[in-house]
Structure 1
Amino acid sequence: MNAKRPKIPLEKLEKSTFERVISFLSMLIFLGSLAFLALVWGDIPDRVPAHFNFSGEVTRHGSQWELLILPIIGLVIYLSMHLLEKYPHMHNYPIEITESNAEEAYKISRSMLGMLKNTILVIFSFIMINASVIALGWGDGVASLILPLVFLGTGLPIIIAIVKLVKLSLRDGT
């Protein structure tokens, strides 16, 4: 169980420069989307797109206040995953975690969570901006790109992490 897994100090699991840049850029996009919403808030009509189907067509409209739910949910998920990143010994793994592979496995899992939390923050920002653009009548938006972005943005980091962990297990003989 998780209790028997080795605990590695966070300093040894430090983020790479690439991971720091991705985190910075995702937070910049998130803050930029909030600034955008603040700038256009007075021009947004009372009814805004609130749900899209698989084709990207609007299937439900809601109050303009629903636009605030998106960044709130994105931020809550981001902060929850940020906290979870700090406890990689508690994550679920498709391999057995041993003293010899723990540090590398924890880095892989922490990195995957980092990519997921940043992707989710950007996706929620993107959905909010897309709904705002449509509500303002500035165009049809790009809602049809959201679903592929969700699948690629969340699926790819998971697949990459699983492949790395399996390779680690095969190399380690566990």
Structure 2
Amino acid sequence: MTTAAPDDPSQPPPPRTLEVIAWVLLAAGAMVLLLRYGDLGEVPTHFGASGEPDDWGPRWALLVLLALWVGLLAGTTLLARRPQWHSYPREVTDQNRAVLHLESSRMMSWTGVGLSTVFLGIVLGATSSASASPSQSTGLAISCAGLVLVLAAPVVGIVRMLRVG
């Protein structure tokens, strides 16, 4: 595998672009939470298989969720920027180091996008449950899409690293 020109549209987005997307998703979720926070009473803390809330807790639990979200995203961002800390599924040589580091950074950045998508869906579902709006099912769908990203990112990343020549 060779590295393509940075403006090659057939290549996946660079890690920094993905990091920006993840942090924008976090900012959007934080805005939704802060705008709706005053109107919230108890919020759902667990959803059953049907997508309906089956446990409730205080609204400040969402602030704990937001803090966890910031911490996890900061961690994935840090790891994406430090590929030399990663373990690789193949030997790192002078010839493949740059490509392996790029692919590993991209994998961590996609993981950050997935985590932000999961948390955004949780916030949308939790803040809309009281009003029974369509955002609750939208929140579940967004969370599921984020979970797919979180699970797919390492698989795709490892496959791409194994293909590096």
The alignment's TM-score, normalised by the length of structure 1, stands at 0.76
SS of the residue corresponding to residue 93 of structure 1 reads coil
Of 128, 132, 143, the match for 1:137: 132
Quick check: 111-120 or 81-90, which moved more?
A: 81-90
- Number of paired residues? 153
Cα pair distance change 1:52/1:84, threshold 3 Å:
same
Aligned pair partner of 2:37 in 16, 38, 41: 41
Q: Secondary structure at the match of 2:51?
A: coil
Contact 1:88 1:106 in 2 (8 A): yes
**CA distances 1:37-73 after superposition (whole Å, capped 9, x unpaired):** 222222111x110012343232211111111122211
- Contact 1:70/1:127 (8 A) holds in 2: no
Moved more, 28-37 or 125-134: 28-37
Q: Structure 2 matches for 1:43-58, cutoff 5 A? A: 43-45=39-41, 47-58=42-53
Deviates more, 1:125-134 or 1:139-148: 139-148
User: What is the identity percentage for the equivalent residue pairs of Structure 1 and Structure 2?
Assistant: 23
* 2-structure distance, mates of 1:145, 1:95: 36
Q: CA deviation at 1:20?
A: 3.8
Gaps of 5+ in 1: 1-15
Shift in Å at residue 17 of structure 1? 5.8
Alignment counterpart, residue 103 of structure 1, candidates 98, 105, 117: 98
Which deviates further from its counterpart, 66-75 or 108-117? 66-75
In 2, the alpha carbon distance for the partners of 1:18 and 1:54 equals 36
Q: State which structure, 1 or 2, has the greater radius of gyration over its C-alpha atoms.
A: 1
| Contact 2:124/2:135 (8 A) holds in 1 | no
TM-score (norm 2): 0.80
Q: Aligned residue for 2:115?
A: 120
**Corresponding residue for residue 25 of structure 1:** 21
